[in-house]
Amino acid sequence: MNWRMTGILGMIRFLAAATCCLGLADVLSAESSAALQPNILFFFSDDQRSDTIHALGNPHIHTPNLDRLAASGVAMTRAYVMGAMQGAVCMPSRAMLMSGQSLFRVRENLVGTVTWPEQFARAGYRTFMTGKWHNGPKSAGTTFQEGRNVFFGGMSDAHGMPVQDFSEGQTPGPKRTSAEHHTELFAGTAIEFLENHPKGQPFLCYVSFKSPHDPRTATASWDEYYQKHPPPLPANVAPMHLFDNGDMVLRDEKLLPWPRTKEALAKEFADYYACISHLDEQVGRVLEVLRRRGLETNTLIVYAGDNGLAIGSHGLLGKQNLYEHSVGVPLLFAGPGVPRNRRSEAFCYLFDIFPTLAELAGIAPLGSSEGHSLVPIFRADDSAPVRTALFTAYRQCQRAVRDDRWKLIRYPLIDKTQLFDLRNDPFEQKDLAGEAASNQKVGEMLGLLRQQQLFYGDTAPLTVENPAPAAWFPPSAAAQPDSNRTKADKKKNRG
């Protein structure tokens, strides 16, 4: 072999080695970046009002695990669901969350929609869910790679919930009935996932509870706790709503007769708080396993709710209205890239959550997603608000807009407008719309509402021909619900 041949062979060996090294380096780099990508543990509650976390200003509820989570991250205290064009608000809420799309553009069953969990899977994440999926069985298997103990529906009793499993692209397997309380079942399923997930691949684990949605059954110990420590009723509870908001007798509103009594509402609140404390306890179990497995430092944790609830506030029971108690939701973030112990009043929607997680995890934006990342807020502490106004909508009968201080609610079908000064009247008890001094503000806020409608593609008119009378009277006593109503009646709406 002459020097020339040796040189050529040497060059070939060098190039081969270099290529090999480059390949290895690439693999190493991909592995190390994958290892650095944060895991995501996402808790989602059902019908939880935003005022039900102890650390965020409610001394009457016991939520030590959510309190710790709030202290370890950012609490978004003005987080909202955009609304719904049907009574089952849960459904569009979840579709908006998963797609990042707003109310008037999202498809509720998510069929044909590219979702955020799919985007995380493309970036190398293992995506897993347990709990409530309210957007039809087809889209579950396209959104997540794996689902275990998944409930396809809106509501169920505490014990005996029908659940199914699915794997990617597959229709869900056979239904089985779980004897375990669903809140404990879902927490246990998340724990099993965390215990068995091999380290090295980042995960997105979505735990979607059915609690505190009715029917409300917590545990005997939590029931007893709130019997001993009955929570006071919010300042804005009332026997009846003052006018016809356009959807007064749907299933959620019929859970109690009219007029609502303080005794009945006190029982509702005690049961509601018991469910939330039980849920908090189960979230604590999952977080403990995360800690024990050493995953806490590299896991982004989100806790959010899908919509609020009235439970007697403004004389209403459900979430089919645009008062703060029904459109506001709890929203907590913690983990790498999230500052500790901070509260933010920046306006945000549920569909901002995944864009935020994506930025924190270095995931490419999803083209069809309209949500905004809240990371600039985490960094700048509200000095760079993502939004200056917040728009909400319910069917064709209610539209609302708020800014930092003022909130206007418009009821086109009865030609009625409400104006609240939220700074001085956070419970929305004093409607200023009829006062001459408010005319200018009403005009400004209506202008803002129209702008927001245009921006989000909402074509609902704010005035109609021949509006209906605003006055409302409850159904006759004989037509009203009573405590003897059947389970089937209670489940007629799948809220």
Contact residues for Ca ion, defined by CB under 5 A: 46-47, 90, 306-307
Contact 288, 296 (CB under 8 A): no
Query: Measured from the CB of residue 88, what is the shortest distance to Ca ion in angstroms?
Result: 8
Contacts of 388 (CB under 8 A, 6+ apart): 347, 403, 404
CB of 44 or CB of 116, closer to Ca ion = 44
CB of 126 or CB of 210, closer to Ca ion = 210
CB of 153 or CB of 426, closer to Ca ion = 153
Query: Measured from the CB of residue 275, what is the shortest distance to Ca ion in angstroms?
Result: 13
CB of 120 or CB of 303, closer to Ca ion = 303
Which residue sits closest to Ca ion, CB atoms considered? 90
Q: Which residue has the tokens 């956070």?
A: 426
For 370-436, give the DSSP string: -----HHHHHHTTSS-S-S-EEEEETTTEEEEE-SSEEEEEEGGGTEEEEEETTT-TT-----TTSG
With vertex at residue 208, the alpha carbon angle to CA 299 and CA 194, rounded to the nearest 5 degrees, is 40
The β-bridge relationship of strands 406-411 and 416-421 is: antiparallel
CB of 211 or CB of 369, closer to Ca ion = 211
Cα 226 to Cα 278: distance, rounded to the nearest angstrom: 12
CB of 156 or CB of 417, closer to Ca ion = 156
CB of 315 or CB of 495, closer to Ca ion = 495
Query: Measured from the CB of residue 102, what is the shortest distance to Ca ion in angstroms?
Result: 18
Q: Assign residue 152 a region (left: φ > 0; alpha: ψ between -120 and 50; beta: otherwise).
A: beta
Contact 431, 420 (CB under 8 A): yes
Query: Measured from the CB of residue 47, what is the shortest distance to Ca ion in angstroms?
Result: 4
The candidate with the shortest Cα–Cα distance to 163, out of 204, 209, 205, is 209
Query: Measured from the CB of residue 265, what is the shortest distance to Ca ion in angstroms?
Result: 19
The candidate with the shortest Cα–Cα distance to 139, out of 123, 152, 155, is 152
Query: Measured from the CB of residue 46, what is the shortest distance to Ca ion in angstroms?
Result: 4
Query: Measured from the CB of residue 401, what is the shortest distance to Ca ion in angstroms?
Result: 23
